[in-house]
């Protein structure tokens, strides 16, 4: 059976069938035009497909943030897949970074298969815990966004909040690897001197590499957290505007 399309208000889901697009919703007063926007077919993730959706989101944030958040406010389709993909890519990128930077040291120091198996098991335990942690953090961000908007006498649905958080959660691919870099830097430094500051036993090149890792990790971490917070803040502004 073919599915019958019934236009609904993007704010209160009131049935807008038969109403003029130039009017307002009888239930909440939201402009009906916002529910019939032809230029907002879905999220950037849907429009560009796959990983290109990240670039589409970045372009929209840089050029016209309002457009991105109107898309998020109008339609939550693709939010689930975007959030899940962002979380898993964030975790995978962090684990890949740990593996690439730590493989040589592990092979050199862990010369028995039992110890190596223990390291693999630790990775298998840490991975799902990290995935769960990121989903919990996304949920906290979603709840905070909804409370902030409603405290400003605005309105936002859980679906719209999820879409905003799904877009900003793409920065997990920056935050998680940077945390991994800083953690590895701390572990390596301690293994050479007992204290992070005691790296005199390292050669000049080793010290330069470690120092570069520390600085790069700190910069990327700060940038990722900044984008996450600013993204939530800018997303809350148009969502908190009253259309009454």
Distance CA 158, CA 73 (A): 10
pLDDT at 152 over 50: yes
| Total residues belonging to the chain | 244
* pLDDT: which is higher, 13 or 107: 13
- Look at residue 219 in the predicted model and tell me its pLDDT: 85
- Look at residue 197 in the predicted model and tell me its pLDDT: 42
Distance CA 61, CA 72 (A): 12
C-alpha distance across the termini of the chain, in Å: 38
The confidence band for 174, taking pLDDT boundaries of 50, 70 and 90, is: confident
């Amino acid at each position: 059976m073919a599915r019958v399309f019934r236009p609904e208000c993007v704010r209160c889901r009131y049935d807008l069938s038969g109403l003029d697009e130039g009017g307002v919703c009888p239930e909440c007063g939201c402009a009906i035009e916002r529910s019939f926007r032809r230029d907002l077919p879905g999220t950037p993730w849907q429009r560009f497909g796959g990983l290109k959706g990240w670039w589409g989101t970045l372009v929209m944030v840089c050029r016209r943030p309002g457009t991105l958040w109107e898309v998020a406010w109008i339609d939550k389709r693709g939010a689930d897949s975007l959030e899940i993909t962002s979380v898993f890519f964030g975790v995978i990128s962090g684990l890949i970074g740990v593996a690439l930077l730590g493989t040589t040291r592990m092979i050199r120091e862990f010369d028995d298969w039992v110890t190596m198996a223990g390291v693999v098991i630790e990775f298998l335990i840490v991975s799902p815990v990290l995935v769960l942690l990121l989903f919990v953090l996304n949920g906290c961000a979603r709840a905070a966004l909804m409370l902030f908007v409603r405290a400003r006498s605005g309105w936002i649905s859980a679906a719209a909040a999820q879409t905003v958080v799904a877009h900003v959660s793409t920065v997990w691919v920056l935050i998680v690897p940077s945390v991994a870099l800083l953690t590895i830097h701390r572990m390596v430094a301690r293994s050479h001197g007992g204290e992070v500051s005691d790296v005199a036993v390292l050669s000049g090149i080793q010290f330069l590499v470690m120092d570069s890792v520390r600085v790069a990790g700190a910069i990327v971490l700060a940038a990722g957290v900044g984008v996450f917070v600013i993204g939530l803040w800018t997303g809350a502004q148009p969502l908190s505007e009253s259309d009454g």
